[in-house]
Amino acid sequence: MLELDRSEVTTIRMYPTTLGELEWTRYGAQDEEGEWSVDINIGGGIYTAAYTVESLTLRDFEKVSLGTLLTKHEARGFNVYYSDLVPTALVADLQEHLSDTVLLLERRIQSEMSSVPDVYLLGNRELMNLVSTVTGINLGFEDGYYINGGQLPGIFMRTDLPGTDVRRLLTHEYIHHVFDGLANDEILPAWLTEGLSKYYEFDTASSGPRSDATRLRQFRSTDLARTAARSDSLFSLAALDNQNEWNSRTDQDELALQYAEAYMAVRFLIETYGPLAGKDLVEVIGLGTSLSESLETVTGLDIRVFESQFNRWLERWEDPERAPLSNYLIELDAILAKETANSEQRAENLGTSMTRQESISSSAALAQSTEELVAALQLLSPPERARELHQQTEDHLGRVLEWLSLEFQASQTQDNVPLRAANAMIPELSARDFTLKRNLSHLKFIFNIPD
């Protein structure tokens, strides 16, 4: 992918499917308008494809001033105000995303959403700083914030972030709006309101496009909190109670931990006491009841016992989807490590002077070892998420076995026909090996599983 001046934006190495097809999608909602081109290198030959990015026409004409000039876009039930540098395609996408989030959250918490706040989209942090000054917000680390009540209620956020982060941010701030409403404007503990927003942010995004980007964030968050629990370095819930103190933290490690811990505290609440426990707790607080009394009403525990049980739960916590996947990948890694050792042994054999019988024996040993690897792989039971990877591994090892069998046949018969057939397979095997290992690495990365 090239800029107009032919400088490189990104490079992706790809191999076709068995049908000879390649598919590539670029999420370019924030690409600048104008001419773009893609250079495709196939076997050393460069093929260039050009395309044009045009602005989506929304026919929005009304302007408002809020520290900077904003354009008003009327959506169904709410308004979107957007600044310069916000692509109109993104405005349309976020309008649809918010409408979908409203419907999904209604099902999750079994409550009808009474209203959707106005949304203010700012093209970068500098523009957001200008708007935050007018709205009376002392902007800290936040990329977005929600104002409940006053003259300018709504969601305020920057948009110069990756697409999944922009959607995540909008969802997070909208969930603040929902639970503030359920609390009847009573002040919620920071760990509860931030934890609920993070919990439902992950929950709703996992049902949408590019869910792996959400899983990546989710597992990094869960593992950070669990590590802190095991090292006795969690915040106390009391230290995460005050929203001003929450917002005042600037250390990046503390920021990450407070969100991770709040998320897991809410996850413990919901997974232990029912899917509506978080909503129920907010509604009881909304009656004017203290946190301790509200928590005892919902869980039967006072705050100290709840926190103690949460800490013990978190220390032992394992994700039900990741645990079987991790166990499977340990066994798969062992098989692939042996296959790599076989490949290294073959390379060593090729560089070693051998008699005909030694060559036959070494080729036979490699083929037999690969047969054993195929058999070992067939004994594994991949979890749902690893089934495609498992099939790729079966296909790869099957072709490796065919290749080594041809080399064994050539060493036995001294016939060049099977040797030429074996050599012709090498580009395919290289492509399969690269694709398999890339997909394996990607899966580990998403689920935060170490190599």
Give residue 63's Cα distance to chain centre.
Answer: 36
State how far the Cα of 149 lies from the Cα of 121, in Å rounded to an integer: 19
CA angle (303 as vertex; 217, 269 as ends), nearest 5: 40
Phi, psi of 77 (to 5 degrees): 90, -5
Strands (E), 59-116: 63-65, 69-74, 79-82
**69, 84 Cβ separation under 8 angstroms:** yes
Whose structure tokens read 């081109």?
A: 37
Please give the DSSP secondary-structure letter assigned to residue 34: E
Place of tokens 């209620």: 153
144: β partners: 157
CA–CA gap between residue 47 and residue 281 (Å, rounded)? 60
Q: What does the DSSP assignment read for 319-348? A: -TTHHHHHHHHHHHHHHHHHHHHHHHHHHH
Opening angle at CA 232, ends 226 and 235, nearest 5: 80
Q: Is 368 helix (H, G, I), strand (E, B) or coil?
A: helix
The dihedral through the CA atoms of 402, 407, 413, 419 has a sign that is positive
Query: How many Å apart are CA 13 and CA 268, to the nearest integer?
Result: 42
pLDDT of residue 412: 92
Rounded to the nearest angstrom, the gap between the alpha carbon of residue 377 and the centroid of all alpha carbons in its chain is: 29
- The dihedral sign for the CA sequence 160, 162, 167, 169: negative
Half-sphere exposure of 75 (CA within 13 A, CB side): 21
Q: pLDDT tens digit string along 54-113?
A: 888 888 889 999 999 999 999 888 999 999 999 998 999 999 999 999 999 999 999 988
d(CA 330, CA 215): 20
> How far, CA to CA in Å, does 446 sit from each of 162, 310, 394, 441?
17, 26, 22, 9
Q: Minimal CA–CA distance to 417: which of 427, 407, 430, 426?
A: 407
> What is the pLDDT, as a whole number, of residue 141?
81
Ranges of beta strands (E only) in 270-325 are none
Displacement of CA 450 from its chain's centroid (Å): 16
Instruction: Phi first, then psi: give them for residue 321, nearest 5 degrees.
Output: -85, -40
pLDDT digits (tens, 9 = 90+) for 310-353: 999 999 999 999 999 999 999 999 999 999 999 999 999 999 99
CA distances from 416 to 406, 409, 422, 423 (A): 10, 10, 10, 10
Name the DSSP class of 115. Answer: -
Q: How far apart are the first and last CA of the chain?
A: 30
- Predicted confidence at residue 385, as pLDDT, reads 95
CA distances from 225 to 230, 257, 396 (A): 9, 6, 38
The stretches in the chain having pLDDT less than 50 are none
What is residue 34's predicted lDDT score, i.e. its pLDDT?
84
Cα diameter, the chain: 90
Cα distance between residue 48 and residue 38, in whole Å:
6
What is d(CA 378, CA 389) in angstroms, rounded to the nearest whole number? 13
